Structure 1
Amino acid sequence: MKKLIYGINLTIDGCCDHTKGSGDEEIHDYFGNLMKESDVLVYGRKTYQLMVPFWPDIAKDLSGATKSINEFAQAFDSVERIVVFSRTLDKVENGKVNVVSADLKEEIIKLKQGEGKNILLGGVDLPSQMLALDLIDEYHFVIQPSIVGEGRRLFDNVTLLEKLPLKLIETKLFKSGAVALHYVRDDRHK
């Protein structure tokens, strides 16, 4: 069964607004490698529209400011399929993008039962819904070495029926002082 993996950048104070953090080369490499291990990307409409056409355009002409940005763009562009959950986006002009307005849990379970690599989840709203539905298998949090004091916080409006224990399986320290934390569900405590 495929795993649903959630990855996001955060500041020390929990801000997940993409305009508040910094993405250095090591961080782009880290998320690019996650992307290479996935064949499906899952986003809500807002995150999809932030990512496309931005990253595919960079991948076309390798116009990123650094090698790692270009490599991330290429990894993004090479993912086989993008699933966008939206009630407001009707269709897109891209053969590898599916817009879905059906039942979230049912669709994710179908994706997980498919063959191939992992499913990579991005954004804030959609992952919050999937957390509440207990669908996420792994979490990759990259903590930026800054406190911004404002902006959107991760899982701010999530209500869980019970605490979700996680098990830390890997850490990585970047030259910038950012830290990547890789967690899996710790089902021993259920």
Structure 2
Amino acid sequence: MRKLIVSNLVSLDGQIAGPNGDLSVMPFDETFSARNAELLREADTLLLGRRTYAAFVDYWPPIADDKTQPEVEREISRLNANARKVVVSEILTRGLGAWADSTEVVHPGKLASRVAELKAERPGRGKKSKNIVTFGSATLVQALLKLGLVDELRLQVGANAVGRGGRPLFDARIPGRLTLVEADVPDESQNIVLTYAIDYEDSEPVG
């Protein structure tokens, strides 16, 4: 069974963006991209909300060939392009951009069944099973948690607070037990990377 991993940069007060979706207030540092590339190397599917997909497809495709960008950014661009993209939206029918050929749109009403299918997929003979990863996508993350579909939370918790008007990652109690798998402070970083496994056995998922 493949894992669904939710990864986000989070402020000390639990926000993933500032007012009006402003990301400039978030605690990015030099380790942020390296951590994301590490996660993407072990994944073959991106599960994204509509707004996050739109931001990604606008930004990432040209980065791969931009020699002014750091190599880690160019690698992320290539990894994103090569991954299967699954976008959850009830209104998106076009505008998939450069990734149209590798992108599937799923209606929110079919989220649970489609994610179950993705997680049950088996790798080809001699191949390693790879993960499904969700970045950003706060509305989608909340739905996935309520449905009991997230296997792991990987949070880069940064050294600042966004304050009022930000966008919270969580809007309700997580219906499962969190177990801390790893806590890591990268060299030369003020952020801490927290990895939690989620066990739903003792809790009924909210559906």
Offset of 1:19 from its aligned partner?
3.3
Q: Does 1:180 align with 2:193?
A: yes
User: Runs of 5+ in structure 2 lacking a partner?
Assistant: 18-22, 123-128
CA distance in 2, matches of 1:63, 1:55: 14
Q: Is the 8 A contact 2:27 2:160 kept in 1?
A: no
Q: Is the 8 A contact 2:89 2:106 kept in 1?
A: yes
1:93-132 CA distance string (max 9 Å, x none): 5211111125110110011011241100122110100100
CA distance in 1, matches of 2:184, 2:167: 25
CA distance in 1, matches of 2:39, 2:68: 22
Structure 1 length-normalised TM = 0.88
Which one of 82, 87, 90 corresponds to residue 84 of structure 1?
87
Q: Is the 8 A contact 2:65 2:74 kept in 1?
A: no
Instruction: Name the amino acid aligned to 1:178.
Output: N
CA distance in 1, matches of 2:44, 2:163: 36
Aligned residues: 185
In the TM superposition, 1:1-190 aligns within 5 A as: 1-17=1-17, 18-64=23-69, 66-79=70-83, 81-91=84-94, 92-93=96-97, 94-101=100-107, 102-115=109-122, 116-122=129-135, 123-150=137-164, 151-156=166-171, 158=172, 163-174=175-186, 175-186=188-199
Structure 2 length-normalised TM = 0.82
Offset of 1:187 from its aligned partner?
5.5
Offset of 1:146 from its aligned partner?
0.8
Task: Give me the CA root mean square deviation.
Answer: 1.9
Q: Is the 8 A contact 2:10 2:158 kept in 1?
A: yes
Runs of 4 or more, structure 1, over 4 Å off, are 187-190
Instruction: Name the amino acid aligned to 1:69.
Output: E
Offset of 1:159 from its aligned partner?
5.8
Offset of 1:24 from its aligned partner?
2.4
Q: Percent identity among equivalent residues?
A: 30
1:167 partner SS: strand
CA distance in 2, matches of 1:56, 1:139: 26
1:132-188 CA distance string (max 9 Å, x none): 0010001100001111213111112x366xx42111111110322100001112457
1:55-85 CA distance string (max 9 Å, x none): 1221232443x33323332332232x00001
CA distance in 2, matches of 1:45, 1:63: 29
1:15-74 CA distance string (max 9 Å, x none): 11133214323111011110110000000111100111311221232443x333233323
User: Runs of 5+ in structure 1 lacking a partner?
Assistant: none
